[in-house]
Amino acid sequence: MTTTQRTTAILAVAALLAASPRLQAQDLEDIWDMSLEELMGLEVNVSSTRSENVFNTPSTVTVIDQGTIQRYNFQSVAEALASLAGIEVRQTIIDRNVVTARGILQNFYDNKILFMINGVPTWQPIYGDGDIARVDIRDVERVEVLKGPASVLYGSNAYSGVVNIVLRDFEANTVVAHGEAGLPNLGGSGFNATLNPGNWHLFLSAHSLSDHNRPYAFEGARGSLYNADSVFQYREKHESNNVNLLLRNGPNELMVNHYHYNHSFPGANPSYASGGGNWVENTGLLANYRFDKAWEKLRLVANANYDDFRRRFAISPDRMNTIQLGGYRLAAEAKANYPLAGWLSAELGALAERRVSQGQDALQGMRDTVVASLLTNDVPITEAAFFAQLQAKAGGLTVLGGTRLTQNSLFGSNISSRVSAVYAFNPSNSLKLIFGQAFRVPTLFELYINHPTVSGNQELTPELSTSYELAYLFGKGDFFFQALGFYSRYENLIQRIAIAPGQPNQYQNVSAFEGYGAELELRYQNQDLANFFLNYSHVRGLDEQTDNNYRFVPDHYFNFGVSKPLGDWALAASGTYHTSVEGHLATIDPQLMLNANITWRQKLDRFELLHGLRVQNLTGSQMLTAEYIRQTPNINAIPTTGFGTKVLYTLVLKI
């Protein structure tokens, strides 16, 4: 089915739902008029299985709510995440939207931050990475972001943070349809609908998007020609389609997420001859069954899920030479909360998981003849885990301690722990002291890849991290402030290392290193006056062992936004700025990017329309940063926010 056909089908379904006599006009809560105090009081789950607001969670948590998403007209989950302190969203030579936390660089693939949908982890076993492009921003009620180690709750991949995408969940029958068009070449449409027949609750959504940027001259090996085409015309583009289903009846819930995401990449070397400009095609399916029931004291939550992933990309200009891979995860988990006394509660959990590779093959010709199997001698990985936590409360002090024991079929046992102390001076004024540990098991790719340019290493050991944080949070009326400092130690970080000239790079554990940093979040929200946010982050290494990581990370990073409501109209601007940073071949100058938005709400009898006009990258900045992270000086940097300026019009219809 072509993109046009998909778009037509999506709009047809939206129109059919809009015409349904079962749907009545909904008195929607106006999130634009929601006070900041109410938003900060919303309960989140990403840092514990017990719902708490941001002042009382036992971890450092930031929430991006639906009101902020609409106010600044964020167009993707990636763009929303990039507005936070301590979070950067970049791209590597292969992947887009690589999320990093607190300056810990990814090694080509996004596998050090765990992505979840409604609390269900999703990541593929070959590279170990999740994909935040699998959920459209208009299906998002809020994004909960935990910064720092989180292995006690979530195990591997929750190494430097967790992102939990919470789907929209209207109580009344609701349809929201949208369309967007923009320059230079952007178009999309979709819908989500909520139905509540009897005791059932149904959420259904489908979206399609195509975005092609202007071509520009891309320089590959920079002065060292590769197949006589080191410089070639490159056009960044991506196309995505995703579908979500959430079906609930009493304590039973079924969730399904399916996505197909294509994006261009500049070639493996990079060069036109090695596939530059061709598609990387990603397809994924996540299906989860949840049982969630509370008795008088006991609450039990059980999940069983299947997470499947497929990728294919061309490595020649004519697309006759390709690489394809696939794999899946099967997982089952149970958690239980039980109050032992009025001041003491316990939580227990167990997990069993199996990760299976279905190969990574080099294909040739129209019949897809397998010419090489690139994952050699790979074996499935099984893992079992048990965790326990105790939480004690006395007056304004809450102390939580927990430990997770993991038994992995390849790497034996691991113990990760965390201890948090939260003292609440009052309901919106708290101090947190947090100790946390995390680990990440090497992926099948890092263990078994056998390619002329890179080789796996079966002698790898799991990555480990330890973090200490001190945070202060204050909220009063329209004002919210969070300040924290942290120290972290990272051991056995896995990187591609250049062994010798002419030899393939090899995955190796690098020496332990230490870093520290600070994060500030300031937010003011007053619908009669104005809204703004200002976030700042700083990170530095402590010794020379940090040279392969922090020298590619800006010392200072700012994110900011301001919005002015004018009745049913709103004006907004947002942006990012970072100081200079070292590239592979030259220093990258300070970078600034600005976005501008105008939104207009139009309330009709049964409908509500939201018009948006957005100028993205008003400054025309390429926002260059060093690639995350190639150990050889192959390329200096690639644009990560799109080349040039975009103009976008969006229309959202609420029924």
Tell which residue, 56, 35, 15, 84, has the closest CA to residue 521.
Answer: 84
CA distance 413 to 162: 22
Output the pLDDT for position 5: 43
DSSP 20-89: -TT--------GGG--HHHHHTS-B-TT-SS-B-TTT-SSEEEEEEHHHHHHTT--SHHHHHTTSTTEEE
Output the pLDDT for position 38: 56
CA distance 76 to 64: 12
CA distance 132 to 72: 19
Phi and psi angles of residue 153, each rounded to the nearest 5 degrees, phi first: -85, -35
Output the pLDDT for position 50: 67
Mean pLDDT along residues 237-246: 94
pLDDT band at 579 (very low <50, low <70, confident <90, very high): very high
Contact 547, 600 (CB under 8 A): no
605-616 as b/e: b if 16+ CB within 10 A: eeebebebebbb
Share of the chain above pLDDT 90, in %: 53
Output the pLDDT for position 20: 40
Q: Compute how many other C-beta atoms are within 10 angstroms of the C-beta atom of residue 176.
A: 23
Residue type, 523: R
Residue 10 clears pLDDT 60, i.e. is over it: no
CA distance 87 to 79: 11
Contact 356, 378 (CB under 8 A): no
Q: How much is the CA Rg of the chain, to the nearest whole Å?
A: 24
Mean pLDDT along residues 413-418: 94
CA distance 31 to 257: 26
pTM: 0.91
Report the run of H or E that residue 4 belongs to, with start and end.
helix 3-19
Report the run of H or E that residue 407 belongs to, with start and end.
strand 397-408
| Residue 434 three-state SS | strand
Output the pLDDT for position 272: 79
Mean pLDDT along residues 585-599: 87
Contact 407, 383 (CB under 8 A): yes
Task: Tell me how far CA of residue 115 lies from CA of 47, 162, 390, 415, in angstroms.
Answer: 13, 6, 25, 22
Cα angle 420, 152, 512 (rounded to 5 degrees) comes to 90
CA distance 253 to 310: 26
Output the pLDDT for position 1: 44
Mean pLDDT of the chain: 85
Tokens 């332990």 -> residue: 512
Least confident range of 198-202, 246-250, 544-548, 604-608: 544-548
* Strands ordered across the beta sheet of 454-455: 454-455, 505-509, 494-497
Mean pLDDT along residues 292-301: 91
Which residues, 6+ apart, have CB-to-CB distance to 425 below 8 Å?
Answer: 396, 431
Least confident range of 222-236, 497-511, 540-554: 222-236
Which structure tokens are listed for 556?
Answer: 């200072």
DSSP 509-533: EPPPEEEEEEEEEEEEEETTTEEEE
Residue 452 clears pLDDT 70, i.e. is over it: yes
Residue 613 clears pLDDT 90, i.e. is over it: yes
CA distance 188 to 181: 7
Residue 422 clears pLDDT 90, i.e. is over it: yes
Each residue's pLDDT tens digit, 185-227:
899 999 999 998 888 999 999 999 999 888 877 665 544 444 4
Output the pLDDT for position 207: 96
Mean pLDDT along residues 553-578: 93
Contact 145, 482 (CB under 8 A): no
Output the pLDDT for position 619: 85
CATH number reported for the structural domain that contains residue 10 in this entry: 2.40.170.20
DSSP 359-374: EEEEEETTTTEEEEES
Number of domains observed in the structure of the chain: 1
Of 10 and 172, the structure prediction assigns the larger pLDDT to 172
Residue type, 167: L
Residue 26 clears pLDDT 50, i.e. is over it: no
Least confident range of 222-236, 355-369, 580-594: 222-236
CA distance 576 to 77: 16
pLDDT band at 536 (very low <50, low <70, confident <90, very high): very high
pLDDT band at 643 (very low <50, low <70, confident <90, very high): low
Which alpha helices (H) appear in 419-572, and where do they start and end? Answer: 444-448
| Residue 551 three-state SS | helix
Output the pLDDT for position 17: 41
Each residue's pLDDT tens digit, 48-85:
656 678 888 888 889 998 888 988 999 999 999 999 99
Task: Tell me how far CA of residue 456 lies from CA of 19, 110, 281, 402, 556, in angstroms.
Answer: 56, 18, 23, 34, 35
Report the run of H or E that residue 8 belongs to, with start and end.
helix 3-19
Which residues, 6+ apart, have CB-to-CB distance to 645 below 8 Å?
Answer: 615, 616, 617, 618, 620
CA distance 33 to 29: 9
Contact 463, 159 (CB under 8 A): yes
Which structure tokens are listed for 546?
Answer: 């940090």
CA distance 371 to 358: 16
Output the pLDDT for position 48: 60
In terms of C-beta density within 10 A (0-12 exposed, 13-18 middle, 19 or more buried), how is residue 224 classed?
exposed
Residue type, 348: L
Tell me the longest C-alpha to C-alpha distance in the chain: 73
Give one word for 267, left, alpha or beta, with left for phi > 0 and alpha for psi -120 to 50: left
Mean pLDDT along residues 396-423: 94
pLDDT band at 39 (very low <50, low <70, confident <90, very high): low
Output the pLDDT for position 449: 92
CA 172 from chain centre, in angstroms, equals: 29
Tell which residue, 358, 273, 378, 260, has the closest CA to residue 316.
Answer: 273
Output the pLDDT for position 109: 84
Residue 548 clears pLDDT 80, i.e. is over it: no
Tell which residue, 396, 271, 295, 291, has the closest CA to residue 335.
Answer: 291
Contact 410, 91 (CB under 8 A): no
Domain that residue 473 falls in: 3-654
